[in-house]
Structures are given as structure tokens and as C-alpha cells.
Structure 1
Amino acid sequence: MNTTRPAWEARGAGRHAVDAGRQHNDDAACRAARRRLHLMASGGLWRDTGWGRRAILDQPAIPDIDFLDLLLDAICIVDAQDRFVWISPAGERIFGYTPAEMIGRRVCEFVLPGDEARTREHIERIKAGEDQTNFENRYRRKDGGIVHLMWSARWSEADQVRVAVAHDVTRLREAKSVQSALYSISEAAHTAEDLDDLFSRIHAIISHLLPAANFCVALLDARAQLIEYPYCADERGGAPRTTTIDADTLGARVIRTGTHLLLAPENFDEWPASIRQLKDSGTRYWLGAPLKLDDRTIGALIVKSYEGGLTYTESDLELLEFVSTQVAQAIERKRLYLRLRHMAHHDSLTGLANRRQLEARMASAFAAADGRDIRVALLYLDLDGFKDINDTYSHEIGDALLQAVAHRLNDTLRESSTVARLGGDEFAVLVDELATSGDAYAVVNRIQDMFATPFTIAGHALRVTPSIGVAVYPDDADTAETLLQHADRAMYDVKRYSRPASASR
């Protein structure tokens, strides 16, 4: 029988630690492995004197203690197939699993999916002989929490194992991540184009704090007492339906009470039947954090997972709640900005574009038409008979009539056209991408037909007719100001002669 020892046995502590780990139930073997690692780390030199017998040269005086039990960092030995073969006692404190639960399983079974690819790349560099230090990734603990680890590792070609030390940096990383998230949320409030863009950015930011593939923003319409879901990313598709504030749903409960909520499999049965139905639909965990501004709640952030998916803990809920205040402020700032921007570019009575917005749209349309054989038409409208209606029925009826005209114009014209109110009973319509100047008069005819039906306002059937002047770019003018002037003059020509007129005639 061949009694030759493998190379790793002759080299001492490292591989004996592997054997001791594989026989983790053998207390004596484990103590021996810890003793050998302790001595090696302390400078002791080993000489092989046969199986089970070691002579220690230059051995320092070391107390007979199980020092590995005192280490806060975990020492892991992994074979060439990336399976754990030995883990020091600190591993259970860090990963939440006993050594027996991890030994024999592949490393990436425990790595967070988002970090798996770069972890594999890191492992390959170690196997290629590169000593690796300060590599960071995230592992999923047995209790569902996430642990951030910093690794140092070295590969033993002769033994075909790598020895790695894992240092838990979770608190440090979470603190830095939260600080970075708060800054990013504040920045997003200023740079996002609109609320949809802001919600998408917030989702991405929160996903760096905790896994949030299924994420919703719920907002309360305080006037209508309705809860809407303007943003929802869900792996099973579809946003929750709009509900009233007093609905028996988790989102409504969080917003109504202004308190956070974690629903987990172990407490599903404590809730009413309507909420227990979530479990039947496959929901496993549900987290909700209220969006608060001072003493009022404007909505909620919601994260959830389905059966077979992620586990969430109170620490995840704490992170979500911590950033929710900043998110609420970001949403409010963006809403205010959008309202101010809308007011600056739209008529307050009708919601149509104002003169400033119209001129900006004209400049864009002109730029698009330049160098192409197309025309841009501007129609200038004045409502004949409006003053009499305003004086006869009241200014409130007159305002309602202007709103009805604006609504009907928007419904009649194509979406790419711009309808603007210039003041009083004067409107403008910008029509781009016309093949000829004559095409503008087809739009005039549609508008005139639109006014053939009376407007019903507060029980009154009111009739007004438009005088419409037409000017065409670049035939009649080459700037927004001069085109408006041409169209205005054309409109007064129509009033005088009661027929459509073009500024070029």
C-alpha cells in the first residue's frame, strides 16, 4: 500500500485545517487544527514526523486557547470547484449559517445575484496566482439580511485551495450608502426631467441600498382622498389599482396611519382576510414606508417579494424609512418646480400654451422646416360674439366658454399641433409639417366646422364663430414675431370681409 503523504500534509497547518473542517464534529481534530493555525500565525515552524505527530521548532510560549473562536473575521478555505471546505467559527456570526450548512456548497450560492459576475471574475484572478486584497461584495445571510464583506485571499497551487479572510464592513458600507443615497435623491430632484424620471431614479437609488426589483410609489390626492400609483415596477406586471384612503389595503393603511409596515410570512395570519389574500397571490414579504412632510403624509414607498424570492428584515425596513423623508422632499420640490414651469408656459384659465410657449414651439418648428420643402402655418383666431355673451351671462360663463373652446380645439386638431391662448378671446394654432400653404386652409375648415355645434354652458346653448387669419412660414415671414403680426392682420381682414384671408394675399 502506498503510504506517501500528499504534499499538503508535509506542509503542515493549512491542509490539516481543511481536514479538521471536514471533520467538524470531531472536537479533538478541530482543536488541533486551531492550535496549528495559531502556532503558524505566531511564528512556529513545523517538521513532519509522521501521521498525527508534529515537532514544533522555535515554538513561542502560547497559551492553550482556542484563539480562532475569538476572531471577528472569518477564515474560509475553498477548493478548486469553489466549494467551501472549511470555515472558522466567525463564519457563523457573519453568514448566519453553521459551518456544516456551508461546507460542500459553492461560494456563489450565498453571493447576492447583483455581485455574482464580478465575484466570479475575482475568483479567477486569485486562481491565476494574483493575491487579492480589499475586494468587496455582498452575501445573503441565512436570516435574509445582507452582509457586506471585504476579502483578502491567496491561492495555493500545490494544495488547489484558496484561503480567504472575510471582514464584515456592513455598518460602514450601509452608512456610506445611505449618505450617498440621500445626496443622489436630492440631486435627482433638481435634474430629473419630470416626475416619471424622478421616480425611476429613486428606484435605482434605493436598489443600491436593498434589493428592490418590485418597487412602487404611492401618492395621495388629498383633495379627492384617492391613492394612486404613478410608478410601479413589478416582476408580475401591473400597478395596484387606485383606491380610496379608507380602503382595506396595506398601501392605504401605511398612508392613513403614517407608520411603516413589514409583512412577513410569520405574521400574515394576524391580518384581516383581505390582506391575507396577498399570501395566496404569491406575495412573501411586503415593506411600506410613509412619505412624510412635516405633519402630513403624501404617499408611501413600497417594496415586496414573491414566493421563492428575497427575504426582508426590519433592517431593510429601517433603511427604506430612513430615505423616505428625503424622497418625500424630492417629490414635493419636483411638483413645485413643475407647477411653476407650467405656469410660466401655460395660460392659467384654459391650460393652453401661452405666448411664450407658442413662440418657443414656433422656433422649433421653423428649425425643423429649414432645408426641407415643408411649410409651417400659424392660425390666429378671434371669437365673434364672445363679448356679448360675457356681458349678458357673466364673466364666469364667459370663462367657462373659453375653457370649452380650448378643450374642443385640442380634441379637433392633431396632437402635433400647438394650441395657445394669447389673451381675452384670442387663440392661436401652430400647424407644422405641411406639404403646401394650401393645406393650412383644410385646418381652418375643420375649426370652422367645430364651431357649428353650440357650446352648452350652465344650461345655456351658446354660439360663437371664429375669425381666422392664416400666415405661413417661410412664405409670409421668417421669424415668430413677424409671423404672428401677419396672422393677426389676416384675422382682421377676415373680420372685415367675412372670409378667410392670408397675409400673402
Structure 2
Amino acid sequence: MLPTDAIIEIFRSILIFGLFVYVLFAGRANKLGARRGWYLLVVGLGLFSLTSLFDTIDTLNRGGPDSGTLDAINPFLSSNGTIQKAFIGKSIGYVLGAALVFVGLFSWNPTRSGKAKFRRAPALRDEQRQLNDLIVLSPDAIVIHREHIIVYVNPAAVKLMGGHSSVDLLGRNLLDFAHPDSIEKTKQRLSALYDGKQELPTTEIRLLRLDGASVDAEVTSGATVFMGEPAFHSVVRDMSRHNRTLEALRRSEKNVRTILDNMSDLFYRTDLSGRIIMASASIEDLTGYPLNEAIGLHMASLYADPLGREKFLQTLEQRGGRIKNYEALMRRKDGRELWASINAHFIYAPPHTPTGVEGSMRDITELVETRKRLERMAMQDDLTGIANRRQFEIFLEHAMARSNRSNVPGALLYFDVDDFKNINDTHGHEFGDWVLREIAQRIGDTARGTDLLARMGGDEFCLILENIHDVGGAVKVAGNIIRAINPPFEHGGVSLGVCISIGISTFSGRDDNISTPLRKADIAMYKSKQEPGSRFHVAEA
């Protein structure tokens, strides 16, 4: 039976040794405190534990009849086993061990570290709660799995896979939800994860829901820890609506492109500098540039006028950023010119900043030429090709206004063909028409570029002369006309002399209207008819 003090000594040694072992292994595993403090603490506790062990052995040696058997392993005892030497050795061991433990505790300071951890605990719990909330409330499906088996799903995953609750998915194999089109890709991704790859790039796969419907999804996978054990997570985003939208957009773009490519009109879009960034295939028909050459071309190069593009933009701005039926002369790749009608508007970006121009263009060359022919027909004599009475009256109004501004008079020479009815009756209307055309030609050759010769009707003509400082200038022109008419008119085997009678009047800004100088010239012309041959008469002022 061991004495009580020996039992206490043994129990104390066990406790100190246990503390030494805990600090030794727990400190190394978790790197508690500073390394130097840990070393001192381990050495101090080791010395303390060893001294306590020797103290226990000494107690046992002193406590029973067989205690002599332990004397050989107690280094603190002398050869005669005196108590004084044992006491000194134990005291040194305890003091030195205690000092090392004290210094080690001071350097390690586990109390301060524990308090910091205690203070951080509520914040860590809040962060964990927020993280859990994010996972639960995430719109993306989150699946955690081990060895192909699902161990956790958030509500979004339950909804995506067509389950009523997580019970419908937990414990099932991931491959059960892989569409046949994507099962090989899914196997490859899982193999890569289980082979140690920490993160896999995002990829698109097709999933199979519990109800058999397929889902286009975007998946990102990687390694994680769940419930303290290694696992893998997959974040799944439903791309079905996105893909349907993209497909609808592609179909819409294809339909628009089909419409554009079958339009006879050119559709185009430019940036603000005028560079073409989009166009329909009809651009080649209009401009001669194939579509691939037209993209990147500047619109300014398509205008016949070097300032055409600038004028177009000015008009577009003046009309509030939208224009219709704007006519411009364009130049094709081969150099030919054509007229185009343009409907266009500015493209705006917030906040109402122009970023480009979008519009359509139509070839109206034939229309413009037809319109010009009609205008010429309305202002031109069909038989002779010179101005008709309407153009004469408009021109005379403008000439009188210019005369008023410049204070320089002008003159009218009004004349007709003598005995023209007899020419028609004798030689026929075809010959008479030729005579009228020939008269217009001969008089036109004598006129200045600023003068206007018009056929007033029948065999009557009128010549407007501007900037005639006195009537003498008009008389000189009348003499030139008579000399041009004097040579015989020869046509179709017929040679005929033709005479004309000319009446001269002047005009200025003081005249009330165009009828005044015209009436005076007409009266002077009839006075000329009273004399034989080609002649002229000047009207009274």
C-alpha cells in the first residue's frame, strides 16, 4: 500500500507531464503564440515534469521497504542517499522550470490571444450567418457534392432542377441531371475536380430536370469544405431565357438583314465622322462599291460636290435632326453621277448626344431628268428649243428688277416674219417650221450669253437685252440680226429670202410692269412693217 504523499506526488507528475504533452503537440499543430515563447514554455514544462518525476521517485524510495531498488535512477541522490542533496536538486529543477514557464507564458501570452478570439467570435458568427443567407438567397443554383453525390442544394437549385424540396435532390448522383448531350462533358469536369483541380472554368452544359425538361445552364465548379469535410461546389446559372433571347435576336437580325438585302433602296448607318459602319447589299447597285468595300468608306467621297456631305449635315441640323426627300448629286465608283433622294436622322446616345446618322437612299436620276424635261417643256418652246412666252415674262420681270437696282436700262427687240402665212401656204408647214427654227438659230448666234431669245407664239420673237446704256446699243443689235437674216433660207431644194420687222423699246425700274415695254416694242414693230424689206423702228420714250 503506497503512502498518501506518494500517491499525490504521482498524480501531480502525471498532470504536469500531461500539460507538457498538450503544449508540445497543440502548440506545434496550431502554431499558438510566438515560436520563441512556445519553445521556452515546452522546455520549462519539460524540466518541471522531469523534476516532479524525480521527486516522486525520491518519495517512493523513502516510503517503503523496497525503495532501494529505485535509488539507482535518481540522479539527485548521493551515494549514501542523503535527503539534503535530493532537496537541493529538486529545488533547482523546480525553480529553473518555473522560470522558463513564466518567461514562455509571457512571450506566448495565450490569454491575450484567447481574449481576441473571444471578441471576434460574434463577428465571425455574423459573417457565417450572412454567408449562409447569401447562399440561400442566391438566384444562382448552388450544389455541393462528394464523389458524384449531392450533399447540399440551395432553394434556387431545387427550383432549377424541378424539385419540391431539397429532399428530392439530396443523395442523388449528379450524372442523373446531366442531359445526354452533355453527359460526357460533365464526366470530364467531375474527373478533373476529383483529380485535384481546384477550380474549373465556366462552361455551358445542358441539364435534365426531374420532370424531363432540359435546361441550358452555365456552370462554374471548384473545391470547397462542407461540414468540415472536403467537397466540391458547382454554381449553376439558368441560361435558357438568355439563350432564347439571343436566338430571337439572331432570328430578328436575320430577318432584318433579309429585308435590307432585298430592298431596292440603300439602307446605311454611319458614325459621326461619316464612316459607313452598316449598309444593305443594294449599296453596290447604287454606288458601284461591293458591300465589303463600302464598309469603312466615308460618305463624303460619294458626293459629287466636295462640300455635299457638309451641306447635308447642315440641312439635317436645321431640320431638327431628321430629313426627308433630300436630293443630292452623288458619284459612283466608276465616276458616273446620279441623283439620290435621302431620308435620314441622327442616332443619339444619352443624354441626346449625336453619335451617327442612319438613313435610306434611293436612285432618282430618272425622276430628276424627267422633272427637268417637264420644266424645260414648261419654259421652252417645243418647236425651236428656245424660251417660250412664260419663261420670257419671268426673265423680263427679273431683268427689270436688276435694272432698277443697277440703274442701267435694258431693251426689247420685238419682231416677226413678214408674209409668213404665204410661206406656209406656198411651201407647206414643214418648211415653215424649219424657217422658224432657222431664224431662232441665226438670231441666237448673234445674241450675247446674258440675253434671252424667246418665241412669243406663231412667227413672233422677242430678244431681251440687259445693261444697254442707250438705245444705240439696241439699234446695233437689230442691225446684226437683219444681217444674219438676209442670206437665203435653203432647205429641201427650196431657196427663199425672208424679211423681218423689228420694234425696239427700252425698259428701266421706273416702268410699272412688263407690259409697258412690251406694248411699246409691239407698236414700233408694226410701224416697221409699213416699209419694205427687213427693217427696225425705235419706240418713242
Fold-level match, TM-score > 0.5? no
Structure with more contact order per residue of length (Cα contacts < 8 Å, sep ≥ 6): 1
What's the TM-score, normalizing by structure 1?
0.41
Between Structure 1 and Structure 2, the one with more helix by share is 2
